[in-house]
Chain A
Amino acid sequence: MPFALKKKAIIVENTSLSEDIYSIWLEEREIALSAKPGQFLSLFCNDASRLLPRPISICEIDKAKGRIRLVFRLAGQGTKEFARLKPADTIEVMGPLGNGFLPEGKKALLIGGGIGIPPLLELAKQLDCEKQIVLGYRDKTFLNEEFLPYGAVYVSTEDGSSGTRGNVIDAIREHKLEAEIIYACGPTPMLRGIKAYAKEQGMSAQLSLEERMACGVGACLACVCKSRDTDHHTNVKNKRICKDGPVFYADTIEL
């Protein structure tokens, strides 16, 4: 990567999946060719008063067309700006950043919670094994139908409006789902529950973590998580989510 820098990507499509969830396809061939499921892009705002890039995980990769799909939730002014982008607009991006999921070829449970669901879509497409997909929502569902071609899909909602009432673990128990490995992305309390569940079941689990980031490349140490072992880079029990993650084996981190 000789001096790879920010790139200008072209917006191909921008649609809303619900009132606060947006789906963008952008074109940047080099990024699409090297991207892996579980990696993320840093998206920069055009408004210079918003300095920091927004880390957004990759939802789908279309290598043939050189395109990447990002699905994100409106969280503040930056993501609102992205939601207003129109086809042919450009946006500055850096990436793909971080390490993605590590496909293991074992019978798998893919578990996503809320805005942690999008990165599992590309993983579901690429994983070549038996897959059960569990998607947890507060109330309204999104993206769940797009998972149907890749495995059995189970939904949980906190208000019980679709699928199992409760959380993803409730859905797993209700359907008595079994697997050898878990791939998961979602809010920290969900990941904490999955870590405990995986331990109880004797399964391995790859968890994708989230934290506020600044540089996105491992230099600023803003987005750390606690780790089981002393980290070779930082020499303390901290891992950098952007650079060492965002995907970690559950037993290597503290949640």
Chain B
Amino acid sequence: MNTNITIAGVTFKNPVTTASGTFGSGMEYSDFVDLSRLGAVTTKGVSNVPWPGNPTPRIAETYGGMLNAIGLQNPGMDVFIQRDIPFLRKYDTKIIVNVVGKTITDYCEVVERLSDCDVDMLEINISCPNVKEGGIAFGQDPKCVEDITGELKKRAKQPIIMKLSPNVTDIAEMARAAQAAGADAISLINTITGMKIDIHRRSFALANKTGGLSGPAIRPIAVRMVYQAAQAVKLPIIGMGGISCAEDALEFIMAGASMVAVGTANFINPAATVQVIDGIEAYMRQYGVDDIKDLIGCVK
């Protein structure tokens, strides 16, 4: 039985990684999870300089989901490179580094710096507000998706995954823009912008007012978008959005994802990633599937 999957020349032992921002760089979860079992660890977003993030409260629970507005707090690329990459390299897993920025120049700086580092792939979070274009997210404008993808492809030595925002009218258009500019893969979905109001305090539940909705509540939207993207482009897709068990993961794979990422479920069940891997293998045994690739996009 083969669960190996190769994307842009990088071979993963299984199709399961972590969704950026839900797993740090794996350190906190290494007490609970054998990181060497994972196909890859996708790190929390890294910026050129340290980002302090948003005021608290940064999270709020919603029915079957949660909102977060952490504000991409991260220690910046210097500390990340010095501390987190050597930590992850101790494990037999691939490293996907998520990259964030406020301007295209910010992203370029991180990507250039990482180009000489021992990491396997870069995932570009384009749901950040583009401060030079009035704060609309990079991933909400196809021209902008194309521009940033093109600029980063010129500089990156590792394959790049463009992580698409679901806060758009037509996800296929964004997938095509990433493909046209030379992206090696796409990942989707990032969180869906939401809001919660505390009726007792008559205030917003999050200090930031809005936050990204994640968790099981968003899964059907994510599966639909992965399917639409898979129909629109030939790029490999990393699917995510509310995956908490193998059954969820298999929906994404059948909709067209080559890999999947487990996110919010890590908070609820630190063993979720490993259970998803075990569950996919159990499914393959049960249905006599010899190669995971036979399941990718099998639902037309």
Query: Chain A residues in contact with chain B, CB under 8 A?
Result: 1, 3-6, 44, 48-53, 94, 211-225, 233-238, 243
Contacts and interface: CB of A to CB of B under 8 A. Distances in A.
Contact of A51 (B21, B33, B51, B65): B65
Interface stretch (B72-80, B227-235, B289-297): B72-80
B269 A219 contact: no
A238 B268 contact: no
A220 B75 contact: no
B32 A49 contact: no
A219 B68 contact: no
B116 interface: no
B194 to A, nearest CB: 14
A214 B270 CA distance: 12
B270 A238 contact: no
Given A50-B61, A94-B270, A235-B76, 4 more contacts: A49-B64, A52-B66, A220-B21, A221-B70
A48 B216 CA distance: 10
B33 A3 contact: yes
Contacts of A219: 22-24, 28-29, 266
Nearest to B76: A235
Interface stretch (B52-60, B85-93, B169-177): B52-60
B283 interface: no
B28 A51 contact: no
18 contacts: A44-B268, A48-B216, A49-B64, A51-B61, A51-B65, A52-B59, A52-B61, A212-B56, A212-B59, A215-B267, A218-B28, A219-B23, A220-B24, A220-B68, A221-B70, A222-B59, A224-B56, A224-B73
Q: Name the residue among A222, A223, A236 with the largest chain B CB count within 10 angstroms.
A: A222
B58 A233 contact: no
B215 A233 contact: no
Contact of A236 (B32, B51, B264): B51
Interface string B9-35: 000000000000111100011011110
Given A3-B34, A52-B66, A214-B68, A221 B73 contact: yes
B29 A49 contact: no
Describe B's contact surface by its main secondary structure: loop
Contact of A212 (B32, B60, B270): B60
The 4 closest A-B pairs by CB, nearest first: A235-B75, A219-B28, A219-B24, A236-B52
B73 A218 contact: no
Given A4-B32, A5-B270, A236 B68 contact: no
B75 A234 contact: yes
A51 B216 contact: yes
A3 B52 CA distance: 31
B98 to A, nearest CB: 14
B197 interface: no
A214 B32 contact: no
Contacts of A238: 52-53, 73
Contacts of B74: 234
B70 to A, nearest CB: 5
B279 interface: no
Given A218-B28, A219-B29, A236-B50, A49 B63 contact: yes
A222 B70 contact: yes
Interface string B39-54: 0000010000011110
B221 interface: no
Contact of A211 (B53, B57, B75): B57
B131 interface: no
B268 A51 contact: yes
A236 B53 contact: yes
B29 A217 contact: yes
Contacts of B216: 48, 51
Contact of B53 (A51, A217, A221): A221
B18 to A, nearest CB: 10
B47 to A, nearest CB: 11
Contact of B269 (A6, A49, A211, A236): A6
Contacts of B70: 220-222
A51 B64 contact: yes
Given A214-B66, A236-B50, A51 B73 contact: no
Nearest to B274: A3
B271 interface: yes
Contact of A6 (B28, B50, B68, B270): B270
A51 B56 CA distance: 20
Contacts of A243: 28
Contacts of A1: 31
Interface in B87-117: none
B165 to A, nearest CB: 20
Contact of B73 (A3, A5, A6, A236): A236
A111 B116 CA distance: 53
